[in-house]
Chains A and B, each alone.
Chain A
Amino acid sequence: MDTTYFRGSAVKRYFRETGEVWLFARRFFREAVRRPFEWKELLNQCFIVGNQSLFLVAMTGLIMGLVLTLQTRPTMEDFGAEAYMPAMVGVSIIREIGPVIIALICAGKIGSSIGAELGSMKVTEQIAAMEVSGTNPFKYLVVTRILATTLMVPLLVIFGDTIALFGSFLVEHAKGEVSFRLFFNKVFHQLSFGDLIPATAKTFFFGFAIGLIGCYKGYTSKKGTAGVGRAANTAVVVASMLLFVLDFIAVLVADIFFDL
């Protein structure tokens, strides 16, 4: 079977879609600074994004902290280094595992719901209805959602990190009888600005990517209910992949500027 055609069309589709996402992002920046702003809807979306994932992020964070500590502790004990546990867990959660895992959870929860919501608005012509009443659906639907995820994902990551550290503390407290004060002292003693700044900065990009891909997939979704399902599904897949790419870039950049 001749597969060159399929490969050719898949590659072409990939580049075309990348180009379209790029244009979509450019439109976001252009419309985001143009008056009038949809403040009320922005607040509403921030609330929805936060409220939607709060419980999930808390659960994930707690389990992440518990598991990470339970699993590394025996090895550290072998080396007689259990005193370093809080420092090690703190650095790995705050610098890498927390942001990535929690952003992935958000991509699953928020990305899919944005994709499905805008997708169904698209196929039921609600977006067209906004357009023909002389209003700007891009501004009302897309700009507010991307801003909301960009602002809220970092907050969710900070929240999740905190819960994860608390989970880790629970294990340390049970196994090593470390006090709350001592545990968090050790965690923060080890952390420098070089850890905190890039770790927080990249979460804004994660949030932006989740909102951007969710909105793009929903806003451009194809006709029919199958289109809605696909919009939600591909939003999660593409956003998750993009998170890893962004994380890789963030680590490279941090490496250059903060001299890890």
Chain B
Amino acid sequence: MEPLIHIENLHKSFGDLNVLNGFSLDLFGEENLVIVGRSGSGKSVLLKCIVRLLIPDSGVLEVLGEPVPELNQYEMDQLRTEVGFLFQGSALYDSMTVRENLEFPLRRHPEKMKGHDVETLIVNTLKSVGLAHTLEMMPEELSGGMQRRIALARTLILRPRVILYDEPTSGLDPITAKEIIELMLQIQKEYHTASLIITHDMDCARVISNRMIILIDGTNYAQGTYAELSKSTDPRVQAFFK
């Protein structure tokens, strides 16, 4: 089976700081791949390379079969509509209402509406994240957990095939975090997306992952299912499960 995301031997450094040092991964259809790593290990950098917010120094990086670093701007923008990105801090447009937040990408990609009208799409997507009543609210009126849901709705509205989650549960209390995890599972069933999830929340990893990669020193230090890795005797892997 063709992987949706194929990364091989990816390198990225900032000056003298080698963040990614030959990282590789394959993400297949409808799977949840979780990457864990310590703070500052380059998890966000990896995701940003995938959507070309950062350009890797070397290595293979293909998304839906397209070589990301070589695409022109138009091709890249088309590809980006297929790849949702949930930011670590939600990144809602704070001068716009919830409706306008969702409308923003949709209006600029009318081909994504597939014959539906904007209103129906917005309302339906908001219903999927359980927040239909927030339509006319401003982001600052929403709690952190609600903001995360709206941000998820905003990525979902373009019906992406892959969703990249950057620490979806960070900054949320355990109960809200659990709700977000359940929502992610439900979204996957409903929209048949594949997910690449970055986290250091091991509860989240346990519930959601089909497969895990442990990112240490910029490489995939270890990989396997949650059960396999939790039995590892390597102290650096064990450290994550304590």
- Chain A positions within 8 Å of B, measured between CB atoms, are 117, 121, 124-126, 128-136
Q: How many residues of B contact A (CB 8 A)?
A: 26
* Bound CA–CA A131/B94 (angstroms): 16
The residue that B85 contacts in the complex, of A117, A132, A135, A136, with Cβ under 8 A, is: A132
Known: A133-B154, A134-B78, A134-B109. A125 touches B91 (CB 8 A): yes
Q: Which residues in chain B, 57-90, are within 8 Å of chain A measured between CB atoms?
A: 76-81, 83, 85, 87-89
* Bound CA–CA A133/B88 (angstroms): 15
Chain A: CB-nearest residue to B53: A128
**A127, chain B: closest CB distance, angstroms:** 9
Does B155 have its Cβ within 8 Å of any Cβ on chain A? yes
Q: Which residues of A contact B158 (CB under 8 A)?
A: 133-134
The residue that A133 contacts in the complex, of B89, B94, B95, B155, with Cβ under 8 A, is: B155
- Chain B positions within 8 Å of A, measured between CB atoms, are 48, 51, 53, 76-81, 83, 85, 87-89, 91-95, 104-105, 108-109, 154-155, 158
Nearest first, the 4 closest Cβ-Cβ pairs linking A and B are A134-B80, A133-B105, A134-B77, A129-B91
The reply to whether A125 and B105 form a contact with Cβ atoms under 8 Å apart is no
* Bound CA–CA A132/B68 (angstroms): 13
The reply to whether A133 and B93 form a contact with Cβ atoms under 8 Å apart is no
Interface centre among B87, B108, B158 (most CB of A within 10 A): B108
Known: A132-B51, A135-B104. A125 touches B81 (CB 8 A): no
Q: Which residues of B contact A125 (CB under 8 A)?
A: 87-89, 91
Q: Which residues of A contact B91 (CB under 8 A)?
A: 124-126, 128-129
* Bound CA–CA A126/B91 (angstroms): 5
Interface centre among A124, A132, A135 (most CB of B within 10 A): A132
The reply to whether A134 and B105 form a contact with Cβ atoms under 8 Å apart is yes
The reply to whether B78 and A132 form a contact with Cβ atoms under 8 Å apart is no
The reply to whether A134 and B53 form a contact with Cβ atoms under 8 Å apart is no
Q: Which residues of A contact B77 (CB under 8 A)?
A: 134-136
* Bound CA–CA A99/B51 (angstroms): 45
**A121, chain B: closest CB distance, angstroms:** 8
The reply to whether B87 and A128 form a contact with Cβ atoms under 8 Å apart is yes
